[in-house]
Amino acid sequence: MRIGVVSDIHSNLTALVAVLDDMGAVDQLWCLGDFVGYGPWPNECIDLLRERGALAIAGNHDLAAIGTLSCEDFNGDAAIAARWTADQLSPSSRSYLESLRPIGEVEGVTLAHGTPREPVWEYMLSASTAAAGFDAIDTDLCLVGHTHIPSLFVESESGVPEVSYMPGGATSPSAPLQRIVNPGSVGQPRDRDPRAAYLVYDTDAKELAWRRVEYDIDKVQKRMRELGLPAFLTERLAYGV
């Protein structure tokens, strides 16, 4: 089975459309949360992923948009964008986001927005966090988002997981050890590569392929300026930071 994995779309419809076009036909589509927050098209991103039948979990920005988390928990620009997003959500988008949980399991794979230990806020960035993550799961593979950095954490016999940051186009073939994997972000990459990031998981080969795709960043920035969204959130898209 060929599974497309997207995460951290952040209301960037232009990037999401480019990713889905590039991905082509898949048997399943999974979303690791943060449909919304930061960008200009929250309802459109939710609608498109729902139309495609995505299996999804909620991210911290989704939970802020529906009031489960307080916007006060975010820093200045993110809080402004979170309040704007909450005002934009349609009743249908709101009830959809309310139906999601920040962690789940599908096809024998754990999905967690942040980490399996703390799926709402914790960032999977270090070997020690990965070690705690392996203790928290009983599946071979766990997919996480939240950091916006394509990455791979592999259990090791030494007890200290191996950490790799995965550039576009990299693949990781079948491994007997547990893995925690981040596809990177569709709508706001932060690894100094501004192209939209996603992952294709081939369940037969147990192979993971990190992919990158260019999209019309100017178009997104123009819309963000028209809407008065924060300048820092607008400018960072061009730099992938």
Nearer of residues 8 and 155 to Zn ion, judged by Cβ: 8
Residue 174 main-chain phi, psi, to 5 deg: -45, 130
Dihedral pair phi/psi, residue 198, rounded to 5°: -160, 180
Residues numbered 26-55 forming contacts with Zn ion, rule: CB under 5 A: 34
Helix (H) or strand (E) holding 227: helix 217-227
Which residue from 3, 4, 5, 8 is in contact with Zn ion, where contact means CB under 5 A? Answer: 8
**Total binding residues for Zn ion by CB under 5 A?**
2
Residue in this structure with the two tokens 């795709």, named with its chain if needed: 213
> Which of 3, 58 has the CB closer to Zn ion?
58
- Minimum Å gap between C-beta 27 and Zn ion is 26
Give the footprint of Zn ion on residues 190-229 (CB under 5 A). none
Shortest Cβ 64–Zn ion spacing (Å): 11
Q: Which residues on neighbouring strands pair with residue 180, listed in sequence order?
A: 142, 153
Distance of closest approach, residue 110 Cβ to Zn ion, in angstroms: 18
Q: CB 94: neighbour CB atoms within 10 A?
A: 16
Should residue 118 be labelled a site residue for Zn ion when binding is judged by CB under 5 A?
A: no
Pairwise CA distance, residues 185 & 240, whole Å: 10
- To the nearest whole angstrom, how small is the minimum distance from the Cβ of residue 7 to Zn ion? 7
What are the distances in angstroms from CA 237 to CA 8, 154, 229, 241?
13, 30, 13, 7
CB atoms within 10 A of CB 117: 16
Q: Structure tokens of 107?
A: 């096809």
**Window of 2-10, 13-21, 77-85, 195-203 that interacts with Zn ion by CB under 5 A:** 2-10
Least spacing, CB of residue 60 vs Zn ion, in Å: 7
Window of 5-13, 23-31, 126-134, 165-173 that interacts with Zn ion by CB under 5 A: 5-13
| Footprint of Zn ion (CB under 5 A) | 8, 34
